[in-house]
Structure 1
């Protein structure tokens, strides 16, 4: 059972990595600068990925699923807040839709799925007895490196967009680049 959960954690971390890459590519290719709420959602995805990565490195622990749960809950709150901002009939929403839904709506669905996943794992309550640090397998190591790459790329993009201070609510251009 632990082996299966580790594989599911690897797949969930891969999914989060792909989500962060898609958001980053939408930012670069379609020139859609993320709003502050979008940036908070990326932080929540990153923290959920850190919780899953800790499971892969330090074996399965309820504390790691707690990180995933709290991160997903905060990301869900931010996503729903953004959905409610754009729920009026004549409001086109922020950014272009992807497969019919805006990225913040997809984020809400994925955060909800992460909450369900970590809740089911915690309810199963299998034995949390193996607290030995273990090495990443090769596929896990690749996923972790790709995850760290997109986290670093997002960090650089946020610094370019907002500078070293907080992002303003009207920051729709890159602070340190010419427009």
Structure 2
């Protein structure tokens, strides 16, 4: 039986670069989705509920899985089968768990007459869009994992300056920035408490410290 980890590193090919570009796109895509939630939070002054925060956490975890593949290519120039399984496996766990979280929130507002939580985007609430994107990601990850054996140990020229390295660095820095913003946003909303209220109406931290307004 052929090993997924050949002893000799093979020269780069189209599929190897496609896997790398997809990992960059996957990282940037989920990070951008979280930015959409931040826009509704700060731009439209809507407070995310606990399930909203949980979904964001799984979105960022999914991005981190793909980010692991990107970082591996940036630092080593080669992505092994084990690296692909580690990165995409982490993303798969995240999108499956995120699907349950978004499905749970959808079911809370499924009864006729229930207007749902928060605003809509293109006719659907954000948690419904989240469920759709989580499900689509399950399919996408399954496809790229099916081809991982064909790209494992192919060199990915991302260690030298060029578009591959630029895209990878952009994806990782963007992800890190959005994670930091979310940590601060959740802390401000939750304050020094263990739990968020089911229907938050203020930033608890500022209320606790007596910040005016």
Contact 1:9–1:55 under 8 Å retained in 2: yes
Q: Radius of gyration: which is bigger?
A: 2
Q: 2:16, 2:154 within 8 Å by CA — same for their partners in 1?
A: no
Partner of 2:41 in structure 1? 27
1:80-109 Cα distance to aligned partner (Å, 9 max, x none): 000111111100000010011110001001
Runs of 5+ consecutive residues of structure 2 not aligned to the other structure:
1-14, 73-78, 208-212
In the superposition, relative to structure 1, how do residues 2 and 131 fare at CA in structure 2: closer, same or farther (>3 Å)? closer
1:147 maps to 175
Give the distance between the partners of 2:165 and 2:130, measured in 1 at CA: 29
Alignment of 1:129-168 (within 5 A): 129=153, 135=159, 137-164=165-192, 165-168=194-197
1:8 partner SS: helix
- Select between 137-146 and 38-47 the one with higher mean Cα deviation: 137-146
Aligned position for 1:93: 116
Distance 2:28 2:199 in 1: 32
Alpha-carbon offset, residue 73 of structure 1: 0.4
Normalised to the residue count of structure 1, the TM-score between the two structures is 0.92
Alpha-carbon RMSD across the aligned residues, in angstroms, is 1.9
SS of structure 1 residue aligned to 2:204: coil
Q: How far apart are the structure 2 equivalents of 1:124 and 1:5? A: 9
Say which is worse superposed, 156-165 or 90-99, in terms of deviation: 156-165
TM-score by length of 2: 0.78
Query: 1:169 and 2:192 equivalent?
Result: no
3-state SS of 2:206 partner: coil
Q: CA deviation at 1:57?
A: 1.1
- Equivalent position of 1:120 in the other structure: 143
Give the C-alpha shift of residue 129 in structure 1. 3.3
Number of aligned residues = 178
